[in-house]
A and B are shown apart, each in its own frame.
Chain A
Amino acid sequence: KAGVTQTPRYLIKTRGQQVTLSCSPISGHRSVSWYQQTPGQGLQFLFEYFSETQRNKGNFPGRFSGRQFSNSRSEMNVSTLELGDSALYLCASSEQGYSYEQYFGPGTRLTVT
């Protein structure tokens, strides 16, 4: 099976713009989780989707949102970008609703200027 894919791999945006990142899970996986990785804050959980429903959300402002489609692909959106949103955004997929087996994608590096 193909692994988790994330597009784009690199992105440069200007402060105030919005951005959409995409994550395609492993075939058959129904859960997608998103994480933000920064040098200062480390890896922080953003949100998780399972069967098109958001089940859990981390402590992030409302500018961060996401959704999941019927084919389990997920997108996350950040509106009104700030310099502090520059980060590596990782997604992970799981087959089951409650599973410690999670598979990570290669990440999207977002730079906000």
Chain B
Amino acid sequence: AQTVTQSQPEMSVQEAETVTLSCTYDTSESDYYLFWYKQPPSRQMILVIRQEAYKQQNATENRFSVNFQKAAKSFSLKISDSQLGDAAMYFCAYYHGNAGNMLTFGGGTRLMVKP
């Protein structure tokens, strides 16, 4: 079974600084997708960024970028120029498709942004 692990329960960053959230996963599949979701206090899960495993190029979405290391099964999220609105729970998630539309989530990292 696939597992996703986020080893940092909480992280803190100063506004305008850069922070990196870590995620590791375990799978025997070669083709899959990885995601970072943001869950603010409103509880709505928002997709931040997506990475296809067959793509070597790391995904980037504005201030958000990932460092995808397939061999190491590592998938970290870098947030540049952190803003107060970035404060939220961040979840790393895995999707393969061999189990319908099921996503496997990590335990989450709470990000605090200090003004």
Q: Which of B21-29, B72-80, B95-103 contacts A (4 or more CB under 8 A)?
A: B95-103
Interface size on A, residues (CB 8 A): 26
Q: Are A102 and B101 in contact (CB under 8 A)?
A: yes
Q: Are A55 and B91 in contact (CB under 8 A)?
A: no
Residues of B within 8 A of A43 (CB): 91, 105, 108
Looking at chain A's contact residues, is the secondary structure mostly helix, strand, loop, or mixed?
strand
Q: Are B101 and A31 in contact (CB under 8 A)?
A: yes
Contact of B99 among A44, A56, A90 (CB under 8 A): A56
Q: Give the shortest distance, in Å, between A53 (CB) and chain B (any CB).
A: 10
CA distance A72 to B108 in the complex (A): 30
Q: Name A's B-contacting residues (CB within 8 A).
A: 31, 33, 35, 42-45, 48, 50, 55-56, 58, 88, 90, 92, 94, 97-100, 102, 104-107, 109
**What would 24 A/B residue contacts be, using CB atoms closer than 8 Å?**
A31-B100, A33-B102, A33-B103, A42-B106, A42-B107, A42-B108, A43-B108, A45-B102, A45-B104, A48-B101, A48-B102, A50-B101, A92-B101, A97-B101, A98-B97, A100-B33, A100-B50, A100-B95, A100-B97, A104-B37, A104-B45, A106-B43, A107-B43, A109-B43
